[in-house]
Amino acid sequence: MTIKVGDKLPAATFSAGTAEGPKPMTTDEIFAGKKVALFAVPGAFTPTCSARHLPGFKDHAADFKAKGVDAIACVSVNDAFVMKAWGESQSVLGDILMLGDGNGDFTKALGLEMDGSKFGMGLRSQRYSMIVEDGVVKELNVEAPGEFKVSAADYMLAQL
């Protein structure tokens, strides 16, 4: 079953890369009492994700804050080390919370997984974005395969 607007996010634990190593972060820590712009990508360092998706949120970070967003979070079925390295390479650490969903548990619980086996990537996340308030999905934008439109930062800003 795919998550939908009005649903509460499932409980999950992500892994965030820090100077001290991977740090577990729960959905409650990230979303409770906050408005969060969350977006998910099929993979760190992949072409669309690196050239357009993540940079769009970096470029508009101040705009999200001005519209009442407490945090911007990026999720990918990658480990914390990869997410930290990707965040460093894109100069987004501090503006965007880079969350590793290493085993895809959160992604599967949302019903938003995809099979990237034909690209040698295994289980991955579909490309999507959502606005979450206090753990409840207020907006959900799932891309059609191969598309990059409704999960973009400017699209989300128009929803706020």
Q: Tell me which of 3, 40, 49, 137 is the catalytic residue.
A: 49
CATH number given to 7-158: 3.40.30.10
pTM of the model: 0.94
Active site residue 74: no
Dig out the tokens for 114 from the structure: 């995809």
**What are residue 130's DSSP bridge partners?**
38, 140
The backbone torsions φ and ψ at residue 21, rounded to the nearest 5 degrees and listed phi first, read 115, -175
pLDDT in tens, the chain (160 residues): 799 999 999 999 999 988 888 999 999 999 999 999 999 999 899 888 788 899 999 999 999 999 999 999 999 999 999 999 999 999 999 999 999 999 999 999 999 998 888 887 878 899 999 999 999 999 999 999 889 999 999 999 999 9
3-class secondary structure, 74 = strand
Nearest to 136 by CA among 38, 21, 61, 43: 38
Nearest to 58 by CA among 159, 158, 152, 160: 152
Please tell me the predicted confidence (pLDDT) of residue 120.
75
For the chain, domain boundaries = 7-158
